[in-house]
Amino acid sequence: MGNERHSSSDRFRLWIDDACVSSGQCVLIDPALFGFDDDGTTRVLVAEVTGETLPSASAAVANCPIGAIHLDPMPHI
């Protein structure tokens, strides 16, 4: 991790898997990308990440205590 470079046109699908324990770190890192449902479940608010939001999305991935956040490259159109 860390050496790959992304262009501003790269797009990633942001998602949280079932291992999430709703610790809230991701919501603290970027409340524009992550939030809580009424039942306390954490969910992504923006499923598609591009250049501007990639740094905080990557920080959330790195700081999730159980690795439940994923950023999958989306194909170029």
- Distance CA(73)–CA(24), nearest Å, equals 24
Given its phi and psi angles, is residue 22 left (phi above 0), alpha (psi -120 to 50 degrees) or beta?
A: left
CA distance from start to end of the chain: 25
Interface residue with ligand SF4, options 21, 32, 47, 62 (CB under 6 A):
21
Number of residues that bind ligand SF4 (CB under 6 A): 14
CB closer to ligand SF4 out of 44 and 77:
44
CB closer to ligand SF4 out of 24 and 51:
24
What residues between 39 and 68 interact with ligand SF4 by CB under 6 A? Answer: 42, 64-66, 68
